[in-house]
Amino acid sequence: MVINQQIQQLLKRNQLSITGSRSKILELFLQQNGALAHADIEKKSGASFDRVTVYRTLQTFVEKGIIHTIPTADNSILYALCKDECTEGHHHDHHVHFICSKCSSTICLEDITVPEIKLPGGYQTTQVEVVVNGVCKDCRG
Amino acid sequence: MVINQQIQQLLKRNQLSITGSRSKILELFLQQNGALAHADIEKKSGASFDRVTVYRTLQTFVEKGIIHTIPTADNSILYALCKDECTEGHHHDHHVHFICSKCSSTICLEDITVPEIKLPGGYQTTQVEVVVNGVCKDCRG
DNA sequence: ACATAAATGCAACTAAGTTGCAACAATTTT
DNA sequence: AAAATTGTTGCAACTTAGTTGCATTTATGT
């Protein structure tokens, strides 16, 4: 299983001890290459961990730059794996997020960069979030 | 008070009866031209209304196209007045939202339109949300 | 002013997220 | 490899957010 080595590397690189819950939750992210809601993770991990552990694990992963959050229109929190460039306390997820209204899967479009937005005088930009709603390629036809 | 007439017009135009809570909440939005969180409204309305009434009023306003929601990075729900073009069940808030990290006020930048985003083949867009984080003109200096 | 339809307040409930602490498991040290 | 240490987990209790049903009250058309 290559995926297990990947998980251990990812945790070690971020100075996190390798525990059952962390490994399992990382596995979920690595398996399906989309975003997961907190509820998804609780369900898919098979009630094997406490709610609190899931909260704390996700929080830790966000802090370490392993995953990032995605704001959605209905204000539920989504999490997705970061690419390698992200480090502790410094996310670089400047890509567009896509949410399919049919299958409600959320995908990070890594190749689509966020366009520069010209603001009126006096405004200073630090970060831009772009979320595209629509229908994904699997749900059309 | 011109603002009172404005409120009554707005409610009548949307076939809503003119009640104390609706008038008061609309007043809050008209007074400060920025976005409000649910908690703000409860505080500023001075505990004069029931929590449930605030929930239901905001919901009604969103349905009627009087206000729209703004997704934020920390996943709290913000509400802001729509411009006149919005009608029942059909929002046209295709403008950029700006959130100031200092005063945490949120402003609708009506003049800045959302740029078109080119997606990979197969993806179909229905709506694009853009939220810019930064420092507003009042907080710089 | 009255009838009717709608809005509000209350109470109770579900869901979401947080905190402190004791028990436990993963590292580190020897 | 076992002990010591540090960090992680699970539990319980709690806070906050949001929902639902129903009785009461309020707004509006006639």
Residue A35 host element (H or E): none
CB A139 within 8 Å of CB B133: no
pLDDT of B46 reads 72
* pLDDT interval class at A66 (50, 70, 90): very high
Q: What is the mean pLDDT of residues B56-64?
A: 95
Question: Starting at the edge strand that comes first in sequence, how are the strands of the sheet with A95-100 ordered?
Answer: A106-113, A95-100, A124-135, B124-135, B95-100, B106-113
Q: Which residue has the higher pLDDT, A89 or B41?
A: B41
The mean pLDDT of chain A is 87
The gap from C-alpha B62 to its chain's centroid, in whole angstroms, comes to 8
Which positions in chain B touch A101 (Cβ < 8 Å)? 126
Distance CA A83, CA A66 (A): 8
- Contact call for A137 and B129, based on CB within 8 A: no
- Is any Cβ of chain A less than 8 angstroms from the Cβ of B96? yes
Per-residue pLDDT tens digits for B92-107: 667 888 989 888 888 8
pLDDT of A93 reads 67
Distance CA A31, CA A84 (A): 17
- Contact call for B136 and A122, based on CB within 8 A: yes
- Is any Cβ of chain A less than 8 angstroms from the Cβ of B130? yes
Greatest mean pLDDT among A81-95, A109-123, B83-97:
A109-123
Closest-CA residue to B81 (of B32, B130, B115): B32
CB A109 within 8 Å of CB A98: yes
- Is any Cβ of chain A less than 8 angstroms from the Cβ of B125? yes
Per-residue pLDDT for A77 more than 90?
A: no
Which among A77, A111, A134 is the nearest to B125, CB-wise? A134
pTM as predicted = 0.83
Per-residue pLDDT for A73 more than 80?
A: no
Which among B96, B101, B129 is the nearest to A73, CB-wise? B129
Q: What is the mean pLDDT of residues A32-59?
A: 90
Taking CA atoms, what residue in B is nearest to A112?
Answer: B119
CB B6 within 8 Å of CB B80: no
pLDDT of A103 reads 85
CA dihedral for B40, B44, B46, B51, sign (positive or negative): negative
* pLDDT interval class at A21 (50, 70, 90): very high
Closest-CA residue to A66 (of A109, A19, A25): A25
Distance CA B58, CA B21 (A): 10
Closest-CA residue to A9 (of A73, A78, A84): A84
Count CA atoms closer than 13 A to B68's CA, side-chain side.
25
Q: Which residue is nearest to nucleotide C7 (CA to C1')?
A: B19
pLDDT of B55 reads 96
- Is any Cβ of chain A less than 8 angstroms from the Cβ of B127? yes
Distance CA A58, CA A69 (A): 10
Which among B122, B132, B135 is the nearest to A137, CB-wise? B122
Residue type, A14: N
The mean pLDDT of chain B is 87
Which positions in chain A touch B126 (Cβ < 8 Å)? 101, 133-135
> How is chain B classified by DSSP, letter by letter?
-HHHHHHHHHHHHTT----HHHHHHHHHHHHS-S-EEHHHHHHHTTT-S-HHHHHHHHHHHHHHTSEEEEE-TT--EEEEE--TT-BTTB----EEEEEETTT--EEEEEEEEPPP-PPPTT-EEEEEEEEEEEE-GGG--
Q: What is the mean pLDDT of residues B37-42?
A: 91
How many inter-chain contacts (A to B, CB under 8 Å) are there? 119
* pLDDT interval class at A32 (50, 70, 90): confident
pLDDT of A84 reads 66
Per-residue pLDDT for A15 more than 70?
A: yes
Q: What is the mean pLDDT of residues A70-95?
A: 77
* pLDDT interval class at A58 (50, 70, 90): very high
Distance A61 CA to C25 C1' (A): 20
Which positions in chain B touch A76 (Cβ < 8 Å)? 75
- Is any Cβ of chain B less than 8 angstroms from the Cβ of A32? no
- Is any Cβ of chain B less than 8 angstroms from the Cβ of A20? no
Question: What is the token pair recorded at B104?
Answer: 């945490």
* pLDDT interval class at B84 (50, 70, 90): low
